[in-house]
């Protein structure tokens, strides 16, 4: 995580006031991919990369948002929030302010400094961490308390409606509600969740293929549309299927022929992934790591073959990991089409795993990967 003291210093130098600082983590998803918007199950963990948000009040009626990462600022009247997205980084914090305003809150004049170390466009939810850090900082400044699920929903709305990316609830939810050393099994239908401890003997190794991923890009939306099409077709036969969460493999066997092939494969991924995800939570709870590893392996194959959301580099990263000592399970994590793989590795092998995986991936692709040994961390909190 970036230094809280340093952010305070930067904020003080630029705005003349010492801020309250909040940290909101990125996340890695252990299993349950593209199931969130189908009202299914996901099991992510918050990680120790985060966005820091420092906030103070202003006297001049303006909102000034500063991104330390880019050395850039955006500013406007607090009474006249921007109505349209700009296509820039500032859409994420501005979207949160607008969504708060739409929910009836009055946005006070404020200075907001953002500074993060979540790798951008790598499938580790840098955008959700910016949204959640902003929401936590600004609501605290307003003296308003919003509960965890409501804050996650608010940030998701900002991303759906203002930024224009049709993401589900997973990233924002775990950035708010994650817990140190735990994975979080979330039921995306009613937002109930339980935490499962990640054993101390297990390292969370995240391997960045360096292939950029963007959920604002077309593929995420195409997949989501295919999932929704399959759902509508099945619902003609069983109207109680409101989302693919409600469908079974038997439904697919009976009526799958009516669904165009691509959408049928996407549906098969979602339906089987939901079953794998709840089974994976049980495996983690009973510390059955072999079973968890197997489920992650199956999940990767399903994501790659049925959902067709992997890429050659991610498939290779998973394949190479499978040959290294200490691996429990590996798969592509996040929205897909690049980004990072998540690897559960026996702690004593973690350092060797990291160096061998890096060297072999570099040799095969000519790309220098970034590999991070992470820890599951707490959700958004005040720091410093």
Residues that bind ligand GLA (CB under 6 A): 29, 33-34, 36-37, 125, 167-168, 170-171, 215, 334-335
Nearer to ligand GLA, 170 or 314 (CB): 170
- Three-class SS of residue 157? helix
> How many C-beta atoms surround the C-beta of residue 179 within 10 A?
17
251 tagged catalytic: no
- Three-class SS of residue 130? helix
CB of 165 to ligand GLA, least distance (A): 7
CB of 300 to ligand GLA, least distance (A): 13
| Length of the chain counted residue by residue | 384
Residues 6+ apart with CB under 8 A from 351: 373
CB of 125 to ligand GLA, least distance (A): 6
Nearer to ligand GLA, 218 or 239 (CB): 218
Nearer to ligand GLA, 113 or 277 (CB): 277
How far apart CA 260 and CA 257 sit, in angstroms, is: 7
Nearer to ligand GLA, 182 or 213 (CB): 213
Task: Find out whether 278 and 31 touch, Cβ atoms under 8 Å.
Answer: no
How far apart CA 220 and CA 108 sit, in angstroms, is: 35
256: its two tokens: 């799958």
Question: Exposed, middle or buried: residue 263 (CB in 10 Å: 0-12, 13-18, 19+)?
Answer: buried
Nearer to ligand GLA, 331 or 354 (CB): 331
- Three-class SS of residue 287? coil
Considering the candidates 36, 48, 171, 315, report the single residue annotated as catalytic. Answer: 171
CB of 121 to ligand GLA, least distance (A): 11
Whose structure tokens read 């039921």?
187
CB of 17 to ligand GLA, least distance (A): 34
Question: Exposed, middle or buried: residue 140 (CB in 10 Å: 0-12, 13-18, 19+)?
Answer: middle
Residues tagged active-site: 171
């Amino acid at each position: 995580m970036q230094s809280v003291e340093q952010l305070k210093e930067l904020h003080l130098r630029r705005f003349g006031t010492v801020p309250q600082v909040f940290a909101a983590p990125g996340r890695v998803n252990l299993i349950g991919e593209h199931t969130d918007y189908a009202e299914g199950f996901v099991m992510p963990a918050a990680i120790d990369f985060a966005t820091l948000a420092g906030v103070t009040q202003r006297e001049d009626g303006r909102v000034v948002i500063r991104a330390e990462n880019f050395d850039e600022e955006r500013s406007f009247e607090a009474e006249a929030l921007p109505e349209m997205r700009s296509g820039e980084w500032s859409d994420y914090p501005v979207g949160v302010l607008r969504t708060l305003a739409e929910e009836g809150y009055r946005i006070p004049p404020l200075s907001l400094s953002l500074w993060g170390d979540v790798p951008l466009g790598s499938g580790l939810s840098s955008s959700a961490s910016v949204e959640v850090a902003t929401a936590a900082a600004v609501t605290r400044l307003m003296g308003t308390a919003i509960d965890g699920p409501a804050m996650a929903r608010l940030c998701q709305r900002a991303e759906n409606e203002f930024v224009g990316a049709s993401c589900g609830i997973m990233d924002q939810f775990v950035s708010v509600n994650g817990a140190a050393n735990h994975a979080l099994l979330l039921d995306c239908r009613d937002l109930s969740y339980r935490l499962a401890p990640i054993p101390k003997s297990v390292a969370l190794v995240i391997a960045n293929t360096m292939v950029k991923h963007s959920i604002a890009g077309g593929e995420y939306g195409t997949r989501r549309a295919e999932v929704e099409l399959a759902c509508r077709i099945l619902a003609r036969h069983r109207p109680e299927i409101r989302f693919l969460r409600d469908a079974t493999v038997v439904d697919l066997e009976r009526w799958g022929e009516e669904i165009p092939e691509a959408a049928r494969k996407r549906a098969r991924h979602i339906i089987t992934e939901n079953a794998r995800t709840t089974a994976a939570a049980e495996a983690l709870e009973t510390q059955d790591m072999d079973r968890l590893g197997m489920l992650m392996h199956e999940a990767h194959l399903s994501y790659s073959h049925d959902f067709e959301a992997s890429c050659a580099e991610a498939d290779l990263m998973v394949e190479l990991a499978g040959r290294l000592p200490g691996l429990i399970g590996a798969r592509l994590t996040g929205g897909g089409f690049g980004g990072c793989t998540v690897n559960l590795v026996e702690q004593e092998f973690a350092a060797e795993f990291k160096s061998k995986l890096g060297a072999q991936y570099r040799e095969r692709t000519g790309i220098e990967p970034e590999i991070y040994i992470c820890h599951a961390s707490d959700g958004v909190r005040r720091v410093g």
